[in-house]
Amino acid sequence: MTDYRRLKPAATSENEGLLAMTKKERNIHYFKIEYAKRGLALCEGENLSMKDCAFTNNETGLKLRGYSDVSVKDCVFNGNTNSGILVGEGISGTIKDDSLYDNGIGINIQALHTFKSPLIPLFQRGNLSKNDRGDFTESGYGIASKVNKKGLLAMTPLSRHCEPEGRGNLILTESENHQQSGNILCHELVLKGLYVSGNSTGILCAGESRPDIKENKIIDNIDYGVYITDDAEPNLGGSGHNCIYGSGTYDLYNNTSKKIMAKKNYWGTVEVDSVELHIYDYYDDSFLGIVEIEPLWNGSKAAEGTMSSGIENRFIYSLKYASPNPFTENTEIMYSIAHRAEDIELNIYDITGRLVKTLVHGKKDAGVYRVKWNGNDNNNRKVATGVYFTRLVSNDFTSVKKVILVR
């Protein structure tokens, strides 16, 4: 874990923590930014190299936007109410070996996966020919419409289907041939070696984003591990080797009509039928696309502790809100213990502070745990409708969360 004694003083502005550096000041190391509306907002066109920073208790920790190349490494995003990292249009680069926990959304990717006009000279080396309509075609790659009056081609997001979308647009198929040929240059965002846990949603892919997601631990998020919507098409099955399991609703929810590649991942089990229960796709709603999960990965790298980020033992102290909340019959409470085995207590109290139920009492190893409360007290009697409080206490940590029971 980062030694935050080395961090520079926190920014505490009500509206902005740090406004992005100029192009000559693109390296940001050892900052701690908290209690801001946006911890850091990257200006359009700026590149960013960030390492060993902490974003805690902001509305949004890090906002990336505007055709920038970024490297965000070994940072912590914790307790940000909206998003730990918000990714806008045209962002390329790597988000690597970071920890994102207890945020509203861990990584919120709202990007359009688009080209920039400076890429045009690359196509001048291509094999373009003119058809009967006056449009340009590039054999085997796609369709380009006429060059506009300014001499620039307006770019549209990548598509797996080669279809024209009006004047001034260039549409390219995203095929293996493109990736191998080296003739097509596009924005690529890589998420690698991340620890994403305890967020409402671990990774949200929206808009027309196409991130490459590999070698991450996306575990024990409250609602969703990975949620895919709009026209997004992340690749979780190239290199794969993600650990995706333990989220409260679904580990992966494909709310699109696209086929999502999610091969070679570990889902907490190697039983295909069990994995399918934690994925929402075509087999749950025929209007949605299939999530391709086979072949499965057995998680051996994670089990052996050889994952590239070395984050296997990076647990933190946390107490999550109960889910569902409010509840009528049963609710589940998730908590985590850091560093070592120690004695803990997890209790339920009523609004007067009276002890109602002891859920956990004793020694626990470092890790993430779940426990259910059925609305009964220590004498196994049903308690009344009302507001209650969960309280986790260990040697180094105390946290209280509200839960509402409705009979």
Question: With 70 as the cut, is the pLDDT of residue 166 above it?
Answer: no
Copy the structure tokens of residue 192.
Answer: 């690698």
Question: What is the tally of structural domains in the chain?
Answer: 3
Which of 181, 201, 234 is a domain's end point?
A: 181
The dihedrals phi and psi of 21, each to the nearest 5 degrees, come to -70, 160
Same domain, 255 and 371: no
Residue 50 has pLDDT above 70, yes or no: yes
Q: Tokens for 149?
A: 């009056």
* β-strand pairing of 105-109 with 201-205: parallel
Residue whose entry in the numeric block shows the structure tokens 């797996």: 160
Give the pLDDT band (50/70/90) at residue 124.
very low
Backbone angles phi, psi at 39, to 5 degrees: -60, -50
Q: Are residues 194 and 272 in the same domain?
A: yes
The torsion region of residue 192 among left (phi > 0), alpha (psi -120 to 50) and beta comes to beta
In a domain, 310, yes or no: no
Residues 77 and 203 in one domain: yes
* Residues 224 and 247 sit within 8 Å (Cβ to Cβ): yes
DSSP designation for 2: -
Residue 309 located in a structural domain: no
Q: pLDDT at position 169, please? A: 34
242 vs 127, more confident: 242
CA 267 to centroid of chain Cα atoms: 16
**Does residue 93 share a domain with residue 26?**
yes
CA atoms of 140 and 158, how far apart (whole Å)? 15
Specify whether 130 is located in the same domain as 215. Answer: no
Q: What residue has token string 């190697």?
A: 270
Residue owning tokens 């033992």? 313
C-alpha to C-alpha distance for 323 and 383, rounded to whole angstroms: 18
Of 281, 304, 327, the one marking the end of a domain is 304
- CATH number of the domain residue 50 falls in: 2.160.20
Give the pLDDT band (50/70/90) at residue 181. very low
DSSP state for residue 156 in the 8-state scheme = -
Same domain, yes or no: 335 and 223: no
User: To the nearest whole number, what is the mean pLDDT of the chain?
Assistant: 74
Please report which helix (H) or strand (E) contains residue 187, including its range. none
14 in a structural domain: yes
Confidence of residue 17 (pLDDT cuts 50, 70, 90): low
* Same domain for 121 and 91: no
The pLDDT-based confidence of 148 (bands split at 50, 70, 90) is: very low
Q: Are residues 210 and 292 in the same domain?
A: yes
Q: Tell whether 201 and 292 lie within a shared domain.
A: yes
Residue after which a domain boundary falls, among 181, 208, 233: 181
Smallest CA-to-CA distance from 153 within 164, 162, 161, 208 is with 164
Does the pLDDT value for residue 164 go beyond 80? Answer: no
- Asked, for residue 313, whether it belongs to a domain, the answer is no
Within-domain flag for 213 = yes
pLDDT at res. 96: 93
Pick from 389, 401, 397: nearest CA to 343:
397
- CATH number for the domain spanning 394: value is 2.60.40.4070
pLDDT attached to residue 111: 73
In terms of domains, do 173 and 192 share one?
no
Among the ranges 159-163, 256-260, 268-272, which has the highest mean pLDDT value? 256-260
pLDDT for 158 equals 33
If you count them, how many residues does the chain have?
A: 407
Residue range of the domain that includes 347: 318-405
Q: How far apart are CA 286 and CA 186, in angstroms?
A: 32
Supply the DSSP string of 312-358, one letter for each residue: TT----EEPPPBSSSBSS-EEEEEEE-SS-EEEEEEEEETTS-EEEE
